[in-house]
Amino acid sequence: MNFYQKVYQVVKKIPSGKVATYGQIGSIISSPRSAQIVGFALRALPENSGVPWQRVINSEGRISIQNLRHRQSEQADLLKKEGVEVEFRDNAYCVDLAKYLHRFKRFG
DNA sequence: AAGGTGACTAACA
DNA sequence: ATGTTAGCCACCT
């Protein structure tokens, strides 16, 4: 199982209605400095992978997707559909991490 | 096989 | 507070 596969495994564990950060995912798979690699893994995801990539946001609680295939507004809509409050502020979509960050068993 | 590329982050200025 | 920089490291040439 390569790094990307590990990332997908962890992302799949994020329950609907919750979010996680790139750095958090990296920490879970014992690679706390590879947050950016986590982003690569999600970018490499095919269209209908079954991996809830929309639940992964950056450490500031903002949506940082920069993929031509999807837009930030699309990720925001998906999260709203799952019950996550997303607020558009300062030209970016924001989520309250204190409220919606998922706590993994091995993290926090 | 060596170097470039970033859906990141924390540290600076 | 806001913008920039330098580490970061699995993948892809």
CATH of the domain at A79: 1.10.10.10
Q: Look at residue A66 in the predicted model and tell me its pLDDT.
A: 72
Nucleotide nearest to A1 (CA to C1'): C10
pLDDT at A62: 94
A59 sits within 7 Å of strand C by its CB: no
- Whether any strand C atom is under 7 angstroms from the Cβ of A3: the reply reads yes
3-state secondary structure of A57: strand
Rounded to two decimals, the pTM is 0.92
Q: Which residue range(s) make up the domain with A85?
A: 3-100
Element (H, E) at A81: helix A72-81
Q: Which of A37-41, A73-77, A81-85, A88-92 has the lowest mean pLDDT?
A: A88-92
In 3-state terms, chain A is what percent helix, strand and coil (to 5)? 40, 10, 50
As ranges, strand C nucleotides with an atom below 7 A of a protein CB are: 7-12
Model confidence at A65, pLDDT cuts 50, 70, 90, reads confident
Concatenated DSSP letters of A8-24: HHHHHTSPTT-BEEHHH
CA distances from A94 to A31, A79, A97 (A): 26, 11, 9
Say yes or no: Cβ of A42 under 7 A from any atom of strand B. Answer: yes
Domain assignment of residue A10, yes or no: yes
Rounded Cα distance between A64 and A13, Å, is 20
In-domain check, residue A32: yes
Nearest nucleotide by C1' from A7 CA? Answer: C10
- Count of domains in chain A? 1
Which whole number is the average pLDDT over A64-87? 89
Q: Is the dihedral of CA A5, A55, A95, A74 positive or negative?
A: positive
